[in-house]
């Protein structure tokens, strides 16, 4: 029996999940030699929220980090890409998606893990094809969620569809740590029986089920699992490397990694964790029972608490959480992962604050109208109608990106006009984060007020949503900024 392979999330998802994605390239470089010597299957080093957070808070140009890490390691690298959303919160045109994947591979990325928040394979197609064309490995991803319409068979079927699209491997991605060991076993076994490509599994320890789900998946034949190293492991991050080794004692598939080396890495990372203490929280280090009760990502819950505080709605936490399954049902039981987790979370807060659908946020209307792709179940017809009326947009059935015009040349022109580098790397990053790229080269004179530290959110980086509340007399002004668009509401108190 082949030993199971471990991948390391230490340099990307682990600090995204526990330290608000704040680990800098400078903090990564000193440990690369040791991390490279472990013999991991992949080092996850890029993508997800690390590009947004790196630009926004650490003022690092993303490709520079990739180059720096790549130059000092022999282990293959992997990254996370949100399909047609790339690493942003809404869909990009095909030419930008393809250029992004191409440049990532050109800069030494090996495996691109490609997912779609709705599990719509049409939203993964361009990224998969571009990755393959550039000589990289495209990994097709199945986002796990619990709902009345999601079944073991359905997840296996999606895996078969992705395999037919020519991916090099598959990943079962359980961003919220909600999969039970039994379900993990059944899905992995079903995939192994039905596809020829390797099957990997990614989960978080948020609800305390992660390591047992890995064990079940290893029994079912999973090829690789993602682990982290203390103190950047467990909690909202991934099952700990050393703990997994202990769990596998006597198991025929136990891999062989140097325990001493892991201890040395861990000793170094303790210092980094200390340096990032402003962004870490005890709440993220322990088993989150709320995440089990509400079946939503742990990161989303911690973001929620902050948002509700700003909206002066702390006492409504239970009510807002209870609103989430209602919204998911109406919107066709979409999984909760960036960007749907932020959209559904905000809509839930709006529904509780103002009454159901009184404030229908643009992202939720776009989901209802098909602009994020096909939902797992049909959207409630009444809600779809309401969204069409309010947004004055027509519902669509086609692949959403078919309606988006190419942008690369326009982006290049804009970069030149702003005296910024206009290569493909800058075009693709600028397409998603124009303001951040500008500020990287021309820092604003006055330091912008630091954004409130997001609770280390794995699936929900805080930059996507911020809220401001102002009270003047008997009028409460509420401004919610979602992915750069501000929605303002004034509420007058009538005595």
The number of residues that bind Co ion (CB under 5 A) is 2
- Are 310 and 469 in contact, with CB atoms under 8 Å apart? yes
Torsion angles phi and psi, residue 199, rounded to 5: -120, 125
* Spatial separation of the C-alpha atoms in residues 42 and 77, rounded to whole Å: 5
* Spatial separation of the C-alpha atoms in residues 406 and 402, rounded to whole Å: 10
Smallest gap from Cβ 150 to Co ion, in A, equals 18
Please identify, among the stretches 11-19, 39-47, 330-338, 404-412, the one whose residues bind Co ion according to the rule CB under 5 A. 11-19
Please identify, among the stretches 10-18, 318-326, 415-423, 465-473, the one whose residues bind Co ion according to the rule CB under 5 A. 10-18
User: Which residues are registered as beta bridge partners of 138?
Assistant: 112
- Are 199 and 188 in contact, with CB atoms under 8 Å apart? yes
Smallest gap from Cβ 202 to Co ion, in A, equals 6
Task: Give the CA distances from residue 486 to residues 73, 213, 465, 482, in Å, rounded to whole numbers and listed in that order.
Answer: 42, 40, 9, 6
Spatial neighbors of 157 by CB under 8 A, at least 6 apart, are: none
Return the number of the residue (144 or 357) whose C-beta is nearest Co ion.
144
Return the number of the residue (128 or 228) whose C-beta is nearest Co ion.
228
- Residue from 10, 13, 27, 126 binding Co ion (CB under 5 A): 13
Please identify, among the stretches 13-21, 144-152, 186-194, 395-403, the one whose residues bind Co ion according to the rule CB under 5 A. 13-21
Return the number of the residue (175 or 276) whose C-beta is nearest Co ion.
175
Smallest gap from Cβ 458 to Co ion, in A, equals 5
Smallest gap from Cβ 344 to Co ion, in A, equals 18
* Spatial separation of the C-alpha atoms in residues 242 and 263, rounded to whole Å: 9
Return the number of the residue (155 or 430) whose C-beta is nearest Co ion.
155
Smallest gap from Cβ 174 to Co ion, in A, equals 8
Return the number of the residue (105 or 175) whose C-beta is nearest Co ion.
175
Largest CA distance in the chain: 73
* Spatial separation of the C-alpha atoms in residues 114 and 170, rounded to whole Å: 9
- Are 87 and 48 in contact, with CB atoms under 8 Å apart? yes
Smallest gap from Cβ 280 to Co ion, in A, equals 17
* Spatial separation of the C-alpha atoms in residues 342 and 454, rounded to whole Å: 13
Task: Give the CA distances from residue 77 to residues 29, 73, 466, in Å, rounded to whole numbers and listed in that order.
Answer: 15, 9, 33
Smallest gap from Cβ 297 to Co ion, in A, equals 9
Residue nearest to Co ion (CB): 13
Torsion angles phi and psi, residue 320, rounded to 5: -65, -40
Smallest gap from Cβ 338 to Co ion, in A, equals 10
What residues numbered 113-132 form the site for Co ion, per CB under 5 A?
none
Return the number of the residue (351 or 458) whose C-beta is nearest Co ion.
458
Please identify, among the stretches 9-17, 36-44, 137-145, 178-186, the one whose residues bind Co ion according to the rule CB under 5 A. 9-17
Q: Which residue in 388, 393, 368 sits closest to 380, CA to CA? A: 368
End-to-end CA distance of the chain: 73
* Spatial separation of the C-alpha atoms in residues 194 and 258, rounded to whole Å: 34
For residue 320, count CB atoms less than 10 angstroms from its CB and return exposed for 0-12, middle for 13-18, buried for 19 or more. buried
Return the number of the residue (175 or 467) whose C-beta is nearest Co ion.
175
Residue 234 interacting with Co ion (CB under 5 A) = no
What residues numbered 145-184 form the site for Co ion, per CB under 5 A?
175
Return the number of the residue (175 or 367) whose C-beta is nearest Co ion.
175
Structure tokens at 207: 């609800």
Smallest gap from Cβ 193 to Co ion, in A, equals 26
Smallest gap from Cβ 336 to Co ion, in A, equals 13
Return the number of the residue (13 or 186) whose C-beta is nearest Co ion.
13
DSSP letter (8 states) at residue 182: H
Structure tokens at 338: 């960036």
Return the number of the residue (175 or 404) whose C-beta is nearest Co ion.
175
What residues numbered 191-230 form the site for Co ion, per CB under 5 A?
none
What residues numbered 439-478 form the site for Co ion, per CB under 5 A?
none
Site residues (vs Co ion, CB under 5 A): 13, 175
């Amino acid at each position: 029996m082949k030993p199971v392979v471990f991948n390391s999330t230490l340099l990307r998802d682990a600090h995204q999940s526990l330290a608000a994605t704040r680990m800098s390239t400078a903090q990564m470089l000193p440990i690369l030699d040791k991390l490279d010597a472990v013999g991991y299957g992949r080092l996850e080093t890029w993508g997800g929220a690390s590009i947004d957070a790196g630009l926004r808070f650490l003022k690092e140009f993303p490709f520079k980090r990739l180059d720096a890490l790549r130059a000092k390691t022999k282990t293959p690298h992997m990254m996370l890409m949100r399909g047609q959303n790339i690493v942003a919160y809404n869909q990009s045109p095909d030419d930008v998606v393809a250029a992004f994947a191409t440049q990532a591979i050109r800069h030494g990325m090996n495996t691109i893990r490609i997912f779609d928040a709705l599990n719509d394979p049409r939203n993964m197609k361009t990224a998969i094809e571009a990755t393959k064309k550039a000589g990289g490995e495209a990994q097709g991803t199945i986002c796990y969620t619990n709902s009345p319409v999601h079944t073991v068979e359905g997840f296996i079927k999606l895996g078969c569809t992705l395999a037919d699209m020519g991916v090099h491997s598959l990943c079962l991605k359980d961003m919220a740590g909600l999969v039970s060991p039994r379900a993990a076993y059944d899905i992995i076994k079903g995939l192994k029986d039905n596809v020829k490509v390797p099957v990997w599994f990614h989960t978080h320890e948020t609800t305390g089920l992660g390591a047992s789900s890995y064990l079940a998946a290893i029994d079912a034949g999973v090829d690789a699992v993602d682990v982290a190293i203390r103190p950047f492991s467990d909690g909202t991050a991934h099952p700990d490397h050393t703990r997994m080794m202990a769990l596998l004692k006597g198991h025929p598939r136990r891999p062989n990694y140097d325990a001493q080396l892991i201890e040395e890495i861990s000793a170094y990372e303790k210092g980094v964790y200390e340096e990032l203490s402003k962004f870490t929280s005890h709440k993220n280090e322990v088993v989150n029972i709320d995440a089990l009760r509400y079946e939503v990502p742990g990161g989303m819950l911690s973001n929620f608490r902050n948002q509700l505080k700003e909206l002066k709605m702390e006492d409504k936490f239970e009510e807002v959480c209870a609103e989430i399954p209602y919204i998911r049902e109406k919107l066709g039981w979409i999984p909760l992962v960036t960007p749907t987790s932020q959209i559904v979370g905000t809509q839930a807060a709006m529904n509780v604050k103002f009454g159901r659908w009184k404030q229908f946020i643009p992202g939720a209307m776009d989901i209802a109208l098909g602009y994020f792709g096909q939902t797992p179940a049909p959207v409630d017809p009444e809600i779809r109608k309401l969204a069409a009326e309010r947004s004055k947009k027509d519902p669509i059935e086609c692949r959403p990106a078919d309606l988006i015009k190419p942008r690369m040349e326009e982006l290049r022109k804009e970069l030149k006009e702003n005296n910024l580098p206009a290569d493909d790397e800058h075009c693709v990053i600028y397409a998603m984060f124009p303001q951040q790229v500008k500020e990287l080269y021309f820092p604003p004179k006055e330091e912008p007020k630091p954004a409130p530290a997001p609770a280390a959110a794995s699936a929900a980086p805080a930059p996507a949503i911020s809220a401001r509340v102002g009270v003047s007399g008997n009028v409460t002004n509420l401004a919610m900024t979602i992915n750069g668009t501000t929605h303002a509401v004034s509420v007058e108190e009538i005595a």
